Amino acid sequence: MDVSMPVPTSVWQPGSLEEAWSLKKELDGVSQFIAGGTLMQMQREQGVVFPPHLISLEQLRELADIEETVDGSIRIGALTDLETCRTHLLVKKMCPSLSEAIGTIASPAVRNRGTIGGNILYGIGDAIPILLAMDARLSWFCENGIRSEWLSDYVNRQESLEEGAILTDITIPSLVKGHCFFRKIGRRETFIPSIVTVAMYMEMADQNVIRSIRIVAGGGVNTPRRLRGCEEMLVGKQLTDDLLSALSIKIKEESALIGDVFASANYRRTVAANLLLTELQSVR
């Protein structure tokens, strides 16, 4: 019988991005970055063993700022806790749907510790759909400096740019010309995935014509993703009853939401379609 004791975990607290990256490189394969730690704590309670080394990013306070940039975008540091994101005046003024979405994530205690970067890196976090609809970009600290990519590209492959890359911030472009929508259907307010989550951003032209639109569906174990085929159906079109009927079928097909013990695939796809169509009907 194996009676060996678990290996104790060492916690490192680098004071800069460069030091954090170097530590990850040095401890390759036996370390993990940690910030708020809410997801890791949940995993630990489920029996997942911590790695021998944790590299805490909490000292990197420059990654916890929220600011408006010169072009009217909002830059949110990846280490900003969810509750600060939810209540920040700049977010509430310029991205109220993001504030609303964050308010549906877990409990206040979890939001006070969990970070927006951690919610994104979780892969199925409930902040991802509205950030996708807002066309957010991610910035990473890598070996050769800062690199950026669309959030949509990240979620499609579910990995960082390179081993040891550190998510530094999320940038949301100005949304003053459009309309945002977010809706989450969940079982209860706990730290569990939603059943269905949808989000949308649209800009309208004259005569009820859609100039541009981004549509997102996710929920449960499903990675949120944009429904680009549905978007193409709508751009340059008027929201007629016939078009919306065809769109309902397309949403169910393209979302490809899968089921689990809590909700069937058909239920998820139908709810997602109904939520999105109801919102489109309300703005025409």
Q: What is the pLDDT of residue 9?
A: 79
pLDDT-based confidence at residue 140 (cuts at 50, 70, 90):
very high
| pLDDT tens profile 80-91 | 999 999 999 999
pLDDT at 1 over 60: no
Mean pLDDT calculated for residue range 254-277? 96
In this structure, is residue 5 part of a structural domain? no
pLDDT-based confidence at residue 4 (cuts at 50, 70, 90):
very low
160 and 199 co-located in one domain:
no
Mean pLDDT calculated for residue range 165-186? 93
124 and 222 co-located in one domain:
no
| pLDDT tens profile 162-175 | 778 999 999 999 98
Question: What is the C-alpha separation between 85 and 105, in angstroms, rounded?
Answer: 12
H helix intervals, 179-264: 228-234, 241-255
* CATH number, domain with residue 223: 3.30.390.50
User: Which of 138, 172, 206 is the last residue before a domain boundary?
Assistant: 172
pLDDT-based confidence at residue 188 (cuts at 50, 70, 90):
low
Q: What is the pLDDT of residue 262?
A: 87
Mean pLDDT of the chain, nearest integer: 90
Total number of domains constituting the chain: 3
User: Which of 144, 172, 200 is the last residue before a domain boundary?
Assistant: 172
Full strand arrangement of the beta sheet holding 222-226:
179-185, 196-204, 210-219, 222-226
132 and 200 co-located in one domain:
no
| pLDDT tens profile 7-33 | 557 899 999 999 999 999 999 889 889
Mean pLDDT calculated for residue range 217-221? 93
* CATH number, domain with residue 49: 3.30.43.10
Encoded tokens for 247: 């769109």
Domain holding 246, by residue range, is: 179-283
**Contact call for residues 247 and 230 (beta carbons, < 8 A):** yes
Considering only CA atoms, which of 192, 177, 180 is closest in space to residue 98?
A: 180
Q: What is the pLDDT of residue 206?
A: 84
